[in-house]
Structure 1
C-alpha cells in the first residue's frame, strides 16, 4: 500500500491542504493519504514534533511522512529526506526531524537542486512530489546525496535526582489536560513508595489509571498511553483553572 501521512500548520480554512494532496494524487492516484493534523500552531516545531513522535510508530513500517511545518522560515536550511526506524520523513531541514527520536536517523538525504524550485509554497511544489514518488517506490537517495548539516534542536528534558524530578508541561490537549516530559521509567526508578506531585496550586500523592477515578473538580495524575505523566482537573480545563501553560514547571518530590 502506498501510504503517506501529512502533518502541517495550514489549518482547514484555506486551499493549502487540498492543494498539497492534489499534487501528490496527480502523481499517483492510488496513494492513501492520512491526515495527522493541520492544526499545529504556525512555526511551532516542538508541538509538531510531539504530535508526530507520538503517533508515527503506529503506522506500518515503510510509511512516508510528509511534514509541512515552517517550510519557508528563516531556520529552514533546505529540504531533506530521513529514514528513521524504517519510516521515511520528507520535510524541511529546520530541526523538527531531529526531535522525533532520542537517536539520530539511519539515513539522511539532502535533496538536490534539480528537484528544487523557487516557490512560496514548497510543501506543494517541492516536498509533495518527492513524497508521492517515494511512497510509490522510489528511494530517497534518488533525489539527492548525503546530508552533512542536519539541523538539530534540543527538547527540554526533565531533571531528576534521588529527591525529586523537575519537569515541564509540554502539551495542553483540547480537554485542558497537561502532558509533561516526566517519563514513567524515570519515575518508577526513583520512586521509594511515597511521593507528592505538585503542579500550580494543586498537589497529589497517588497515581490514578484514568480520568474518572477522581471526582469532578479534583486533580488527577497518571502515566498515559505515551508513558509520560499526565495531570489535570477532572471535568475542568487545567490550564485555565490552574494558570498553567506550556513550559510550566511540574515537581515530583520523593519521600516524606
Structure 2
C-alpha cells in the first residue's frame, strides 16, 4: 500500500493512494493537486550515508569507505512532494541526490543482517541536496552542507515493505527540467540495507519512524533557481521539487 501525509482544508490527514486519487482518513476522496504534501512519516532520528555508491565516490575522486560513513539530519531539513527548496544566495554549487529512504518500523537493537528486513516498515524517496561551497570533508559534512531548512524533500509515498519485492534492485533516476541527469541502481550500494541496519543497531537503538537515507549514485549536477527536479525510484514513485531563491 502507498501511504501519505497531506494537508487538506487546513488539517493534517493520513491518506492512501486510490487509483490516482487520495483517500483521506476522514473518508473523503480528493485529487492529488488539491492537497499540500508533507513527508509521509514524521522523521525522528535520520541517518544519512555518504559515499555509499562506488561510482559516486569515484566521481568525487574518493576511495570507497571501509565502513559506513554516517551523519545525522535534523527534522527541519525535510519538506514534502511538490515543495520548494531554497538555494542560498551565495551558493555556487548546489546539487541533488536521489536516495532510497528506509523507514524503521519497530525498535531494533543488535539486529543481525539476516533479520534486518523484519524491522523495516516501508520505503520512500529522498532528495538530499548538498551545497558544495560549504563542504570541508566528505567524511564529516559540515552542518551547512546537509542540514539546511527545506533541503531534503521526501515522499510522496511511504510504500509498505511487503510491496517492494527487492529493495536492493531498484532503478533510481533524476530529471532536471525534464532531462535525465542521474541514473543508478540500489544493487550498487557499497553497504546494503541489511548491513546498515546491523551496523547502526550494533551500538544504538533504532526506533519506529527513524529513517536511513542510503546514499546516491553518480550523476549529481548543479541546480539553478527555477529548476524543477524530479527524483524517481522504481516501484516507489516520483518526488517533484522546485529550486527557489
Same fold at TM > 0.5: no
Relative to its length, the structure with more strand (as a share) is 2
Q: TM-score, normalised by structure 2?
A: 0.25
Q: TM-score, normalised by structure 1?
A: 0.24
Greater C-alpha radius of gyration: 1
Relative contact order (C-alpha < 8 Å, sep 6+): which is higher?
A: 2
